[in-house]
Amino acid sequence: MATIKATCPMCGDVDLGPRQVQVLVVEAIEDSESRRTYSFTCTTCGDHVVKVADEDTVQLLGTAGVKIERVPVPDEAREQHRGRPLGYDDLLDFVLWLDTHEAIADELAAANWR
């Protein structure tokens, strides 16, 4: 099992096992905007330490056996959209349209929205 040397701001260098380190990558559409951190609980003082990491550090920790948790960008965020965004008037128009199309309105009302 690999030993990971990390630095606690209060205690200095501490040796950790792969299961004592957590890596979190919150992905962004632009990779340069992704947030990468690793964290651990100091074996000496018990403080929870969180540090910013670059992709090389993430890969190195992964190679050492640390589980990497990735929060991906939702597919919807990568969709291409055309036209202007929906506005309040569009929503009102839709509500009025639903009033004149009762079959759809009844089905929507009967649907379980929870």
User: Nearer to Zn ion by C-beta: 46 or 65?
Assistant: 46
Could you tell me the smallest distance in angstroms from the CB atom of residue 7 to Zn ion? 9
Could you tell me the smallest distance in angstroms from the CB atom of residue 71 to Zn ion? 27
Per the structure block, which two tokens stand in for 90?
């569009």
User: For 78-108, b where at least 16 C-beta lie within 10 A, e where not — what string?
Assistant: eeeeeeeeeeeeeeeeeeeeeeeeeeeeeee
Could you tell me the smallest distance in angstroms from the CB atom of residue 12 to Zn ion? 8
C-beta of residue 51 within 8 angstroms of C-beta of residue 38: yes
User: Nearer to Zn ion by C-beta: 50 or 96?
Assistant: 50
Binding site for Zn ion (CB under 5 A): 8, 10-11, 42, 44-45
